[in-house]
């Protein structure tokens, strides 16, 4: 498939995992769906809780991708189109965590910093409410893919380090490369791009990070991964935990989680456990 993005590649990627993910969907149902965490119709989250948890467990939150313009947490009602992104919540529950998959407001109607503000609202909601679902409000880990990784990094810019334990950043754009024209729909005037990007926040945070990139990610995403790794090494004297996923592309990074390919799932789950003691 190469490194290109687009609807045809996306459809091919979905077809690779449909059978496995549909079975996973049936095996791990949503615990509670479409919970409102704010006033907007996109302010909704789904919770996937482990069946046999004893005591409060870590909470893993997924912020979906979609180029700032689209994307969905997956339908909590099931159905053939329901599994993308929801599979990450199921993976978390299967690992013994509370999985949370969110929707957030989309561009162009909702521009910077709306996505990151919505992540702030999710964390505040979880701090107040996740204990009722078996989660530990003091052990929240944010994970984002593509635009979702940008919003997680933007959360660090807006809210700092206090309320979460760590962040998982899958194929994000942090500010190490040139602005793409479609990003203007979220960031607005190109002159504002440098100050609006979350680069400084994600480079300086003391929170534990797990940063991932795909072998077949588009070159810009690979350059962002390397830029962040170099910057972290220069500033902290060490790279963060990191993975380059061989055999995967931009779309399959989140899509394959919960399947027989356990490499990235194992890295994410080990990261959550290691920082949640």
* pLDDT, tens only, 43-92: 999 999 998 877 899 999 999 999 999 999 986 555 555 899 999 999 99
> What pTM value is reported for the model?
0.97
Phi-psi group of 71: left, alpha or beta (phi > 0 → left; psi -120 to 50 → alpha; rest → beta):
left
H/E segment holding residue 153: helix 147-159
pLDDT at 189: 92
pLDDT of residue 169: 98
8 Å CB contact between 119 and 38: no
pLDDT of residue 102: 98
**List of residues 6+ apart from 136 with CB closer than 8 A:** 56, 57, 58, 59, 130, 276
C-alpha triplet 171, 174, 179: angle, nearest 5°: 100
- pLDDT in the model for residue 54: 79
CA distance 29 to 188: 39
> Cα(113)–Cα(81) distance, rounded to whole angstroms?
29
Specify the residue for token string 């998982």: 168
d(CA 82, CA 44): 15
**Cα separation of 200 and 157, whole Å?**
8
How many Cβ atoms sit within 10 Å of the Cβ of residue 79? 11
Evaluate whether 153 touches 203 at the Cβ level (below 8 Å).
no
Query: Cα dihedral angle (13, 92, 148, 244), rounded to 10 degrees?
Result: -60
Helices (H) and strands (E) in the chain, counts: 10, 8
Sorted by sequence, the CB contacts under 8 Å of residue 70 that are 6+ apart come out as 106
Low-confidence ranges of the chain (pLDDT < 70): 75-81
Which strand (E) or helix (H) includes residue 140? strand 135-145
pLDDT confidence of residue 206: 96
Rounded to whole angstroms, how far apart are CA atoms 148 and 169?
A: 8
Alpha-carbon separation of residue 155 from 15, 83, 105, 178, 261 (angstroms): 33, 26, 14, 21, 30
Contacts of 55 (CB under 8 A, 6+ apart): none
């Amino acid at each position: 498939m190469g490194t290109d993005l687009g609807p045809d590649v996306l459809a091919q990627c979905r077809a690779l995992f449909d059978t496995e993910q549909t079975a996973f969907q049936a095996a791990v149902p949503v615990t509670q769906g479409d919970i409102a965490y704010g006033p907007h119709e996109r302010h909704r989250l789904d919770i996937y809780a482990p069946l046999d948890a004893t005591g409060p467990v870590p909470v893993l939150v997924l912020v979906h991708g979609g180029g700032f313009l689209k994307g969905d947490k997956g339908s909590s009602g099931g159905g053939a189109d329901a599994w993308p992104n929801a599979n990450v919540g199921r993976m978390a529950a299967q690992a013994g965590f509370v999985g949370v998959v969110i929707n957030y407001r989309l561009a162009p109607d909702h521009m910077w910093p709306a996505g990151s503000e919505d992540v702030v609202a999710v964390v505040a909601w979880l701090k107040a409410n996740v204990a009722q679902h078996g989660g530990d409000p003091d052990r929240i880990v944010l994970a984002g893919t593509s635009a979702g990784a940008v919003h997680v990094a933007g959360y660090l810019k807006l809210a700092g380090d206090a309320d979460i334990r760590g962040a998982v950043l899958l194929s994000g754009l942090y500010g190490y490369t040139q602005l793409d024209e479609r990003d203007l729909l979220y960031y607005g005037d190109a002159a504002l791009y440098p100050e609006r990007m979350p680069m400084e926040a994600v480079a300086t945070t003391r929170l534990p990070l797990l940063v991932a990139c795909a072998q077949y990610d588009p070159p810009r995403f690979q350059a962002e991964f390397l830029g962040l790794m170099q910057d972290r090494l220069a500033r902290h004297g060490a790279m963060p935990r990191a993975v380059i996923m061989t055999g995967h592309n931009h779309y399959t990074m989140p899509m394959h989680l919960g399947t027989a390919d356990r490499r990235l799932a194992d890295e994410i789950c080990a990261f959550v456990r290691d920082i949640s003691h």
